[in-house]
Every structure is written in C-alpha cells, then in structure tokens.
C-alpha cells in the first residue's frame, strides 16, 4: 500500500478532476433550477471548491514557468470574485474554458510512466518474495485452484483519463501467464470516501446475485449475469479497480459523435440552458412543450438518436456480429435496469455505462443505494439512443421465475448501508423515515432492514404483475 500511494495524479490531472466535479455540480444545480435559470446563483459549496482550486496555484512546484504564471493570473481574474453573487451560467462558461485549458495540459504530459521511477521495490517483486493473490480474488469464495497469484508487476504504467475518473493503469502478470490491468485511483476528497464504500456494497450485492443467476434454469440458459469489475479499497483514499482498456462509456461515444461534427459535447448542455434563459428573458412561462421543443431541436439538428446504433454499425460490419452484440447488450441492460429500479439505486449516468466492444457486455459504475424516498419521473435510464438501438423487440415482455433467496441476500447488504447512514448522522434512512439518531437501537435497525428488503421485493412483484410496460413507457417518454 505505501508503494501504491506514489501513483497519485499530477497537479494538472488533479485540477482537471476538480474542475469536472465542479462543472457536474453546476449542471445539477442548473437542472434543479431550470425554471429560474437566469437568476440562479452559484452555491457556497461550489464556490468553496473553486476557491480551493485557486489555492492550488499557490503550492505548486513550478511557479517560475511563464505559462503557469499566465494561468494563475487568468484563474484569479475569472474566479477571484466568487464571494459576491455570481450567475450560474457565467460560471459554467468559465469552467468549460478552464477544462479545455487543463485537458490540453494533460494531453501534453507523458502517456507512459516507468514503474522504476515510482517504486523500484514494487518492480522487483516476484512469487519468490511472497505469495500474494490478485486484488479482488477473495470477493467471491473460490477453490484454491482458481485463485490467481501475482507473478510480477510490469514496468510500464499507462496514464488513463476518463470522463468520470483518472489514474494510472498498473499491469499485473499472474502465475498463469495472463496479464490483468488495474486502475490505481486516488481520491483526495475525504467527503467522497463514504460514497466509494457505498458503491462497493452495491457491487458486492451484484456479485452474490450472479451466483444465484447461474443456478436458475432460465437465466443460466441465457447467460444472464452482471458484469462486475473487481474493486478493492486498499486505503481510504486509494482503490484498485479492474480495468478494461477497450471499454467505452456512453458519454465517450457521445463526445466522439460531437467531435466528428466539429463541436464540443458540453457546448450542447450550455446551449440548452441558454435557450431556457432566452425564453425566460422574454417573460414567457416555461412549459413541458417548450422543454420538449428545445430537446428535439438539439436531437434533430445536432445529435441524432442513432449515435449508439451508428457506432455499432461501424464496428460490426457482419450482420451476425452486429446481431450478437445487440443481443448481449440488450440482455446486460435488462439486468442493470432491473437492478436500478428494484433496488432503488442512484440514476445511471452516461459516464458510468461502460460498454465492451468485443463482447457486448456492460458494467455500471457509480451505482449506490438511493436514500431519497421521492419517486423520480423516470424510473430508470432508457434514453432515445438506447431505445433506438435495442428496438421494441428487445424491450418487450418479462420473464417471471420466483427466487426466495433474494431477500436473504439483500438483508446484510442493506444493514451495512443503514448503519453507514447512521454513522454519517443522517436523519433519513433508505426508506425516507425521519428518525433522530439517538433513538436507534438494535431492534429498530432490524426493523428498518426488514422493511427495506420487503419494499424491494414489492417493487419486483409489481414488475412481474404487468407493470413493466408502464415503466418502459415512462422511461422513454420525452416529457420526463
């Protein structure tokens, strides 16, 4: 662990990560206040994050660089007056400008780092030194014959920058000769560490469910299993995540389609809010019809509903390969959409939907149990591009097969989630009940776990009772 801590991001990579996090927070505030976007101001939390980035210019190791001096001056000029109220749209424009600047700086950095520059001791490791299993081998019990051991660490580290994360790709060669890439991800924000533990609990639930899906006749016949990467927290701020270099997120596909047309993907989001501001500036009332017209105008003129479909057609020339990819993708989305709705997980994000081009498998990142008891208008993510690619045939009908072991699997996972909520001194648990922390005892926690598991089983029974068509219609409706 001490040796892995050397693989943290550079200053430029850390600043870029913080800028993207601040931009995502601004987008969330803008979406929540789109009815009054012109008068919406920057929140103190986002302003504090940006001010913290400004302090980063004071503690870097290359203050004599003229390019660095220009960036420091410009950053203070753009964000030096956040103490006074700032319009949210103006801050979004400035953040987009600085993200473009730092992306250029990060691209100029070496894409490959030698391991001996970071840790010679790690490079000299072998099976003669110690018998160490691959990270994540004990997440699911296996026989000793199937456990992979570390033979050595490869000398090269790839620098990986993705929409939702960044880090160094550490390549490990196992005793069977195969190569296993892992992403060494650092997070310097203590406030986000608990969120990472919540994500790991959901992944462990999906791993346990895979064991039972493999034993059921209908799911085993269709090879229906969750694609769950190995994810191990070696310290509060450091994680090792199984990496798939060929995988591509839905957001990356969207950005590729935008770059081919000569514009940035984030410019569409900013254009959307500027059009909302233009309507409000005229004194007109914002209606569902106006929102739908803006959305459809962007779809028809800039980004069509065939982005995912066109990408698949270009990558799979053979009709049989295309059909097999679409079949596997549809099956994977079926499982993940079911998990998102039934287990009341956080909304699936485009940067979290990772597609494997060679197999069609899909793994989801950033899934957590949603502590908000309110019912969202969209039960799960089924965007126009997903709907167009999977077609109506891929979304029709529902299989029903009882499994009474599911509730027993849910209870220990939900117990950890509820206890974690109590430790964070939250006043709301996963069911939305408002109960002071000091009134909780063992019996109360047990009741909460039982009720939460029962609520999930009720949601599943409603799906099999014929409600699935209504949910699909709500998820694919443009007004929602």
275 C-beta neighbours (distance < 10 Å), count: 18
47 and 143 co-located in one domain: no
Retrieve residue 386's tokens.
């997903």
Is 269 part of any domain?
no
* pLDDT tens-digit readout, 339-395: 888 888 888 888 888 999 988 899 888 888 876 656 666 777 778 888 888 887 776
Q: Is residue 274 part of a domain?
A: no
Confirm whether 268 is domain-assigned: no
Q: Is residue 229 part of a domain?
A: yes
Q: Is the pLDDT of residue 430 over 50?
A: no
The alpha-helical segments, DSSP class H, found in 189-264 are: 193-213, 217-221, 250-260
Judged against a pLDDT cut of 80, whether residue 163 lies above it is answered with no
Domain shared by 347 and 448, yes or no = yes
Q: What is the pLDDT of residue 429?
A: 44
Q: Given pLDDT bands bounded at 50, 70 and 90, which one contains residue 58?
A: low
Contacts 24+ apart (CB under 8 A), 422-429: 424/194, 426/371, 428/371, 428/373, 429/371
Place of tokens 């195969």: 178
Q: Are residues 341 and 448 in the same domain?
A: yes
Note the pLDDT of residue 396: 65
Structure confidence at residue 165 as a pLDDT band (50, 70, 90): low
Chain segment 94-118, per-residue pLDDT in tens: 999 998 888 888 888 888 877 776 6
Domain housing 364: 246-263+302-480
Residue 433 has pLDDT above 60, yes or no: no
Q: Is 355 inside any structural domain?
A: yes
Q: Over 90: is that where the pLDDT of 321 sits?
A: yes
Asked whether residue 134 is domain-assigned, the answer is yes
Query: Does 478 score more than 80 pLDDT?
Result: no
What mean pLDDT do residues 197-221 have? Answer: 87
Where would I find the beta strands (DSSP E) of 50-207?
A: 112-114, 150-161, 166-174, 179-186
Quick check: is 421 in a domain? yes
Is residue 474 one of the residues assigned to a domain? Answer: yes
Residue 428's pLDDT band (cuts 50, 70, 90): very low
In this predicted structure, which of 169-183, 273-287, 366-380 has the lowest mean pLDDT?
Answer: 366-380
Domain count, the chain: 3
DSSP secondary structure of 374-425: SPPSSSS---HHHHHHHHHHHT--------TTHHHHHHHHHHHHHHHHHHTT
Query: 186-190, 308-312, 435-439: which range is least confident on average?
Result: 435-439
Per-residue confidence (pLDDT) for residue 436, from 0 to 100: 47
- Residue 114 pairs with which residues in a beta bridge? 156
pLDDT band for position 13 (cuts 50, 70, 90): confident
Query: Do residues 373 and 227 both lie within one domain?
Result: no
Residue 304 has pLDDT above 50, yes or no: yes
Q: For residue 272, what are the CA distances in angstroms to 280, 303, 304, 341?
A: 13, 13, 15, 28
450 & 334 share domain? yes
Nearest Cα to Cα of residue 232 among 198, 200, 202: 200
Instruction: Say which residue the tokens 């994050």 belong to.
Output: 49
Do residues 255 and 168 share a domain? no
Q: How far apart are CA 202 and CA 187, in angstroms?
A: 19
Interval 284-293: pLDDT, tens: 777 888 888 8
Confidence of residue 181 (pLDDT cuts 50, 70, 90): very high
Does the pLDDT value for residue 434 go beyond 50? no
pLDDT of residue 427: 46
Is the pLDDT reported for residue 466 higher than 80?
no
Q: Are residues 395 and 255 in the same domain?
A: yes
339 and 368: one domain? yes
Residue with tokens 């799911």: 219
Kindly state the tokens that stand for 349. Answer: 């994000």
Is the pLDDT confidence value at 435 over 60?
Answer: no
Mean pLDDT along residues 399-428: 72
Q: What percent of the chain has pLDDT over 70?
A: 83
How far apart are alpha carbons 60 and 339 in whole angstroms?
A: 44
Mean pLDDT value of segment 263-271: 84
- 94 and 133 both lie in a single domain: no
Terminal CA-to-CA distance of the chain, rounded, Å?
Answer: 46
Region 239-249 average pLDDT: 89
Which residues make beta-bridge pairs with 153? Answer: 172
* Same-domain check for residues 75 and 160: no
CATH number, position 360: 1.10.1070
The lowest-confidence range among 52-56, 229-233, 244-248 is: 52-56
Indicate whether 210 and 359 sit together in one domain.
Answer: no
3-state SS assignment for residue 371: coil
Which CATH number does the domain housing residue 228 bear?
A: 3.30.1010.10
- 400 vs 112: which has the higher pLDDT: 112
pLDDT tens digit string along 438-447? 456 778 888 8
Last residue of a domain, one of 74, 109, 144: 109
Model confidence, pTM: 0.78
400 or 174, which is more confident: 174
Which pLDDT belongs to residue 144? 61
**50 or 2: which carries more pLDDT confidence?**
50
Interacting residues of 32 by C-beta distance below 8 A, sequence separation 6+? none
């Amino acid at each position: 662990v001490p040796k892995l801590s050397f693989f943290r991001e550079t200053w430029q990579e850390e600043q870029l990560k913080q800028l993207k996090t601040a931009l995502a927070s601004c987008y969330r505030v803008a979406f929540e206040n789109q009815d009054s976007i012109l008068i919406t101001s920057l929140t103190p939390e986002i302003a504090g994050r940006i001010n913290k980035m400004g302090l980063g210019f004071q503690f870097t190791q290359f203050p004599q660089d003229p390019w660095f001096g220009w960036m420091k001056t410009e950053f203070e000029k753009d964000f030096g007056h956040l103490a006074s109220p700032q319009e949210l749209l103006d801050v979004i424009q400035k953040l987009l400008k600085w993200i473009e600047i730092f992306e250029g700086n990060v691209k100029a950095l070496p894409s490959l780092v030698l391991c001996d520059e970071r840790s010679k001791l790690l490079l000299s490791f072998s099976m003669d030194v110690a018998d160490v299993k691959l990270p994540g081998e004990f997440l699911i019990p296996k026989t000793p014959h199937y456990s992979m051991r570390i033979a050595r660490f490869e000398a090269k580290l790839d620098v990986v920058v993705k929409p939702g994360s960044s880090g160094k790709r550490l390549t490990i060669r196992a005793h069977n000769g195969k190569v296993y890439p892992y992403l060494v991800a650092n997070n310097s924000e203590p406030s986000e560490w608990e969120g990472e533990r919540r994500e790991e609990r959901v992944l462990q639930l999906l791993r346990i469910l895979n064991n039972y899906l493999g034993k059921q006749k209908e799911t085993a016949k269709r090879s229906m299993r969750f694609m769950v990467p190995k994810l191990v927290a070696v310290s509060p701020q450091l994680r090792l995540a199984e990496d798939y270099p060929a995988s591509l997120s839905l957001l990356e596909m969207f950005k590729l389609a935008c770059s081919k047309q000569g514009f940035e993907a984030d410019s569409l989001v900013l254009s959307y809010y500027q059009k909302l501001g233009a309507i409000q500036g005229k004194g007109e009332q914002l209606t569902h019809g106006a929102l739908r017209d803006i959305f459809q105008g962007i779809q028809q003129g800039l980004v069509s509903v065939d982005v995912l479909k066109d990408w698949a057609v270009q990558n799979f020339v053979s009709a049989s390969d295309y059909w097999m990819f679409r079949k596997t993708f549809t099956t994977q989305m079926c499982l993940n959409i079911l998990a998102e709705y039934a287990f009341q997980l956080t909304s699936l994000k485009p940067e979290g939907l990772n597609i494997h081009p060679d197999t069609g498998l899909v793994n989801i990142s950033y899934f957590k149990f949603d502590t908000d008891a309110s019912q969202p208008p969209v039960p799960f993510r089924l965007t126009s591009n997903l709907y167009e690619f999977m077609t109506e045939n891929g979304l029709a009908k529902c299989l029903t097969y009882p499994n009474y072991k599911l509730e027993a699997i849910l209870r220990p996972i939900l117990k950890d989630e509820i206890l974690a909520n109590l430790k964070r001194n939250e006043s709301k648990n996963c069911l939305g009940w408002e109960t002071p922390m000091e009134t909780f005892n063992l019996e109360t926690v047990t009741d909460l776990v039982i009720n939460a598991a029962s609520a999930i089983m009720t949601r599943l029974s409603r799906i099999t009772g014929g409600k699935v068509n209504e949910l699909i219609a709500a998820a694919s409706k443009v007004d929602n």
